[in-house]
């Protein structure tokens, strides 16, 4: 299917950013789009003392205007795997994303040891419509409040599509899949990233057991699994041993958008890529998955008891803690358009006057409810956030 995409440095997905823990990263974003702004968010980067580089238009900055540029400078203050993506409208859905790898301390557990870093494995639900068309669907009066159904699923930007199902589409049969080279007897690090729009990914590799060693920049006590579940924006570093009975064949890597957990049209929800030994890259795999239907239909991450950080969280909620509940829900406005709300308020972006600018020039009494601002009392030592999700879709929250 031929679809217009937005490229980063001429690439889809965008090129990787690789740095060492503690490095200062400087990226100049040039907006070569003809008629709209943009901004890039560095997912998972704390931006301590540096919030104006978080890349969220109408919050931390004005959008980067067409023909203009903006230089982001921030420190790699965490290590592991993450990604960057546009935070302007839904440009991410049209291709504005790429991986970030921050090299840091080696995991201390011998079970986390690996020989080869295979690099990022980006998992993306994909649409045959442009992001402007998707936004148009969502903002139509009376429209379904759920995200539009995804048409395909991709691994590192590639996956075939059954063109005959939709003969009216301009479509390339057997467009190709991604390939990963494994070495027999070696352990391989794969950096899984859900770079999608709304789909929950279920990742597995035929004939291979996976060991999870880190989740979202946090090293965890290693544990084995047959399937890794990733919500949008989530990452997992896994170690996969090349200890298979037959290295003369190729194996399928899989990532599925479970119809029980994600909004898909059901035509092509399962992405595959090839695991290749002995350079047999032209040999199409004939392997099967052992992942059960029940596992694919489970819409939650692994049990919290499994994902224990190697450095225990010793936070203490004391008497001076500030607690705030956030209720995520929807309302239908007077135009019949469904809006998402936080505590009953719909955020209204003002690209000409970002919130940070408003905070620096106005007093709290002048803040509009549509800004969704909350004041933390002086003297609070801990902030406790409690989220309640009443939206018709699973949705990640992050700071």
Mean pLDDT score, 83-94: 95
Question: Does the structure show a pLDDT above 80 at 367?
Answer: no
Q: Which domains does the chain have, with CATH numbers?
A: 1-105 (2.60.40.420), 106-314 (2.60.40.420), 322-389 (no CATH)
The mean per-residue pLDDT over the stretch 225-241 comes to 96
User: What pLDDT is stored for residue 207 in this prediction?
Assistant: 94
Taking residues 310-323, report their average pLDDT. Answer: 79
> Would you state the pLDDT for residue 325?
94
State pLDDT tens for residues 182-199: 999 999 999 999 999 999
One-letter-per-residue 3-state SS of the chain: CCCCCCCECCECCCCCEEEECCCEEEEEEECCCCCCCECEEECCCCCCCCHHHCCCECCCECCECCCCEEEEEEECCCCEEEEEEECCCCHHHHCCEEEEEEECCCCCCHHHCCCEEEEEEEEEEECCCCHHHHHHHHCCCCCCCCCCCECEEEECCECCCCHHHCCCCCCCCCCCCCEEECCCCCEEEEEEEECCCCCCEEEEECCCCEEEEEECCEEEEEEEECCEEECCCCEEEEEEECCCCCCCCCEEEEEEECCCCCCECCCCCEEEEEEECCCCCCCCCCCCCCCCHHHHCCCCCCCCCCCCECCCCCCCCCCCCEEEEEEEEEEECCCCCEEEEECCECCCCCCCCCHHHHHHHCCHHHCCHHHCCCCCCCCCCCEEEEEEECCCCCCCCCC
User: pLDDT, tens digit, for every residue of 31-57?
Assistant: 999 999 999 999 999 999 999 999 999
Please tell me which residue, 280 or 254, carries the higher pLDDT value: 254
Average pLDDT over the chain, rounded to whole? 91
pLDDT at site 170: 83
**pLDDT above 90 (res 260):** no
Q: What is the mean pLDDT of residues 121-145?
A: 92
pTM of the model: 0.95
- Residue 125 binned pLDDT confidence (cut-offs 50, 70, 90): very high
């Amino acid at each position: 299917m031929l679809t217009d995409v937005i490229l980063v440095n001429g690439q889809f997905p965008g090129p990787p950013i690789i740095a060492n823990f503690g490095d200062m990263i400087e990226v100049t974003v040039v907006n070569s789009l003809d008629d709209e702004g943009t901004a890039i968010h560095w997912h998972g980067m704390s931006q301590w003392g540096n919030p104006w580089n978080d890349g969220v238009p109408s919050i931390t900055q004005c959008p980067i205007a067409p023909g203009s540029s903006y230089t982001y400078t921030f420190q790699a203050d965490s290590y592991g795997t993450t990604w960057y993506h546009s935070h302007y409208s839904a440009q991410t859905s049209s291709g504005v994303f790429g991986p970030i790898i921050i090299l840091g301390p080696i995991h201390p557990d011998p079970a986390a040891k690996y020989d080869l870093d295979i690099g990022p494995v980006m998992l993306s639900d994909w649409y045959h419509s442009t992001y402007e068309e998707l936004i148009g669907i969502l903002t139509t009066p009376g429209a379904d409040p759920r995200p539009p159904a995804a048409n395909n699923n991709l691994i590192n930007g590639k996956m075939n599509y059954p063109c005959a199902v939709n003969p009216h589409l301009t479509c390339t049969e057997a467009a190709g899949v991604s390939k990963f080279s494994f070495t027999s007897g070696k352990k391989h690090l794969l950096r899984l990233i859900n770079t999608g729009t709304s789909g929950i990914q279920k990742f597995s590799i035929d004939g291979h057991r996976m060991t999870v060693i880190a989740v979202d920049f946090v090293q965890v006590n290693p544990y084995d699994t047959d399937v890794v579940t990733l919500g949008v924006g989530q990452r997992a570093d896994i170690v996969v041993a090349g200890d298979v009975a037959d290295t003369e064949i190729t194996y399928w890597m899989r990532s599925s958008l479970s119809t029980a957990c994600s909004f898909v049209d059901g035509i092509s929800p399962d992405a595959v890529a090839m695991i290749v030994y002995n350079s047999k890259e032209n040999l199409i795999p004939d392997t099967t998955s052992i992942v059960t239907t029940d596992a694919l239909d489970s819409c939650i991450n692994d049990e919290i008891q499994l994902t224990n950080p190697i450095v225990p969280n010793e936070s203490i909620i004391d008497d001076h803690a500030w607690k705030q509940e956030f209720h995520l829900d929807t309302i239908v406005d007077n135009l019949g358009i469904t809006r998402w709300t936080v505590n009953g308020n719909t955020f209204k972006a003002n690209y000409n006057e970002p919130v940070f600018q408003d905070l620096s020039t106005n007093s709290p009494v002048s803040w509009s409810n549509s800004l969704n601002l909350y004041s933390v009392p002086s003297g609070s030592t801990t902030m406790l956030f409690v989220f309640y999700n009443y939206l018709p879709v699973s949705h990640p929250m992050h700071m």
